[in-house]
Amino acid sequence: MTNTVTVDRYGVMGYPVSHSRSPVIHKLFALQTNQNMQYELLRVTPEKLEEAVRQFQRTGGKGLNITVPHKRSVCRLVDQLSERASTAGAVNTLAFQDGEIFGDNTDGIGLLRDLVVNLGANITDANILILGAGGATSGIVGPLLEMRPRSLCIANRTLKRAEDLAERFESLGKVSAYRFNVIPVTEPYHLIINATSAGLEGETPPYPEAAVSDKTYCYDLSYGLKPTPFSIWAREHGAAHSVMGWGMLVEQAAESFHIWRGVRPDTKPVLKQMTVNA
């Protein structure tokens, strides 16, 4: 008699995707919680996305993370969308169950857990400035507004995109939209989040210097082996804290892992390991 050992399959689909740390993080989670699973890097072009997702499902795959540039377009393949994914208009986690595809978005909760639980930042009553108005911003505005900040300002190079997001979220709280050069600064912001992809190109947009004080938490959704341009800028302008998005990366992964496996891993040692290796 032969015993077939089946391993539950997961992965991350993106294009490009080779830089993704998700396989390492999920392997560490699996080891820590004794889960029999594997997690693959899946390089999939936009034209091949639907075919690749359906094939992964057909061949018994259990779940996927979805990353750039597919987070929006994958929504149309989903049978059931969580409320937070629907509000964000983007999906980063798919779970395959009983022939159906469930889509969720763990980015916002990942950021909140890092800010509030790991870093002790106060969001309620804070003045928040988000730089950028792309996919990353649309994933975090809803969860941030649920924490009842005093104000939330979205600033972007292209004003129209910031205005569109502000309009989409205005029913959840006080949101305004500006170009970088006219960001209102009546008092320094408590929290500035960089959600532009400018740093990936090594660029520093005209970030608003007056918005930073020695009370400001600066958080870059990007992360890297070296400090990002925004995190350097924040330190140089006297921010109280300047943090890269490693914590959000690990926390959003933990939330996906919980959806798939029903087990919540301890993120602290994994975050430590990731940043020691960085």
Which residues are known to be catalytic? 71
Residue nearest to ligand ATR (CB): 134
- For residue 117, the minimal CB distance to ligand ATR (Å) is 24
- Could you say which residues in the range 104-143 bind ligand ATR, by CB under 6 A? 132-136
Binding mask 152-171 for ligand ATR (x = CB under 6 A): ----xxx--x----------
Which residues fall within 8 angstroms of residue 157, CB to CB, at 6 or more apart?
A: 179, 180, 196, 205
- For residue 9, the minimal CB distance to ligand ATR (Å) is 26
Query: Taking contact as CB under 6 A, which single stretch among the options 41-49, 94-102, 168-176, 193-201 is the one that binds ligand ATR?
Result: 193-201
Query: Taking contact as CB under 6 A, which single stretch among the options 15-23, 77-85, 150-158, 262-270 is the one that binds ligand ATR?
Result: 150-158
Q: Would you say 141 or 212 has its CB closer to ligand ATR? A: 141
- For residue 124, the minimal CB distance to ligand ATR (Å) is 25
Q: Would you say 198 or 274 has its CB closer to ligand ATR? A: 198
What residues line the site for ligand ATR (CB under 6 A)? 68, 132-136, 156-158, 161, 195-198, 201, 203, 205
